[in-house]
Structure 1
Amino acid sequence: MQLTGVETQVLADTEAVAAETARLILDAAADAIAARGAFRLVLAGGSTPLAAYRLLAQAQADWAHWHLYHGDERCLPPDSPERNSRAADDVWLAKVPVPREQVHPIPAEQGAAAASAAYEPVVAGAVPFDLVLLGMGEDGHTASLFPGHEICPGPLVMPVHDAPKPPPDRVSLTPSALCRSRRMLVLVTGAGKQAAVARWAAGDGLPVARVAVGGNALVLLDRVATPSMPPEPDLG
């Protein structure tokens, strides 16, 4: 299938999406370091990005020139397993020699408003990013930009309150920041995403669609997330 306004690729399964994501990240890193001496990557939360991070933990790369940021974060203590930064550290960053001063977690434990203000200059000093990694929720949200929530047009980082999934308080990069990137990867996996993908294909103004169109995005879907490709029957 093809989503309007963005490049789209359908892969066999979640594992194939993770493998292709890891490959594209490594290729983008090599190109950015060769061209500009640094690679600036925005990380996403969720199971499929974590699968890609596990593959990166086994890879060889010029880690000393990687600079890592987060697209969003939950307002939880820094050591909470529900934090995006903690999950990325556990499966990947604790296992490779990226300098810790080049890993930039969102200080969401300060609260949504204070953390947004603190992260704004960090993002301002990093854009344009070389690559932004995003996922999509079953409601069509991406990062912590949810349907029906006002998206601040000016700031690069915004506080999020009353999120429809816990925790209610979060911090998110805005489209103004996410779209200031040389390339964007949007990962969509699982049968639970079919309805949102169908809405996206029909032109519904979901947050993920708005961001992807403005971000030079490649959308990687697995087969079961694609409405026109139902799951294969279990013959076992």
Structure 2
Amino acid sequence: MATRWHVAEDETDWLAQALAYTLAAEAEALAEHGQFRVCLAGGGTPGRLYRELAATARDWPRWQVWYGDERCLPPGHPERNSALAEQAWLRRVPIPAANVHSIPAELGARAGAEVYARQLAGAARFDLVLLGLGEDGHTASLFPGHDWGTAADAPDTLAVFDAPKPPPERVSLSARRLSEARRVLFLAGGAGKRAAVAAWRGGAAIPAAAIRPAAGVDVLIDQSAYGERA
């Protein structure tokens, strides 16, 4: 499986590449089946793209928005991934509420995972999955030392307990479900991610490397995360 590294020259270039990649995936999906099914990541880095999308005129009723993971916090809590996406983007555009499929993590990890799995059971594979990269190599809420759901029979969703970052309970899509996407784009930046990037490039078995779609993955980072001059 190919891992394609894209090193942006600066923040403006990083944002332009992220937006161009997303809109290319949208155009491909709409031409093929009339809908764009995108799965979102949490965190401040993807949030930069979300704010840019909010200022872009798209055919929003044809977008279907899902989430790769969620923290078990009350609805509307500012630390929820859905709260970030809603504030930066989704509430600012005319996307139908029925097209946004939030994870009911407020039910708790186990119940939230079960409910979201039922929703995903009737959904086609994603056209684009956006993912972040943690300093420890985690992505979504797939952490080192935990089950990543890589087996061929792994469920679509995982109940996560004892996460090394608060809150300890989360709901995450499995590596298997994320790997079924047509396209996967990792978004990362900052010197704090350099060790994770180096480990990934060196072939280490980190959670991010467990996302293995047939078409390969694209990783968009900045120079400080990449380390050596690209």
TM tier relative to shorter chain: over 0.9
Q: Is the 8 A contact 2:2 2:216 kept in 1?
A: no
Q: Is the 8 A contact 1:180 1:215 kept in 2?
A: no
Matches within 5 A, 1:37-186: 37-152=34-149, 153=151, 154-186=154-186
In structure 2, how many angstroms separate the alpha carbons of the residues matched to 1:213 and 1:164?
Answer: 26
Cα gap change, 1:30/1:213 in structure 2, threshold over 3 Å: closer, same or farther?
closer
In structure 2, how many angstroms separate the alpha carbons of the residues matched to 1:90 and 1:99?
Answer: 15
Q: Mind listing any 5+ residue stretches in structure 1 that lack a counterpart?
A: 231-236
How many pairs align? 227
Q: Displacement, 1:150? A: 1.9
Q: Is the 8 A contact 1:127 1:181 kept in 2?
A: no
Q: Is the 8 A contact 1:18 1:49 kept in 2?
A: no
In structure 2, how many angstroms separate the alpha carbons of the residues matched to 1:12 and 1:40?
Answer: 29
SS in 2 for 1:159: strand
In structure 2, how many angstroms separate the alpha carbons of the residues matched to 1:210 and 1:167?
Answer: 23
Match of 2:29 among 27, 32, 35: 32
Q: Displacement, 1:61? A: 0.7
Greater shift, 119-128 or 213-222, is seen at: 213-222
In structure 1, how many angstroms separate the alpha carbons of the residues matched to 2:202 and 2:28?
Answer: 35
Identity of aligned residues (%): 48
In structure 1, how many angstroms separate the alpha carbons of the residues matched to 2:83 and 2:215?
Answer: 26
Q: Is the 8 A contact 1:136 1:186 kept in 2?
A: yes
Q: Mind listing any 5+ residue stretches in structure 2 that lack a counterpart?
A: none
CA RMSD of aligned residues (A): 1.6
In structure 2, how many angstroms separate the alpha carbons of the residues matched to 1:39 and 1:166?
Answer: 32
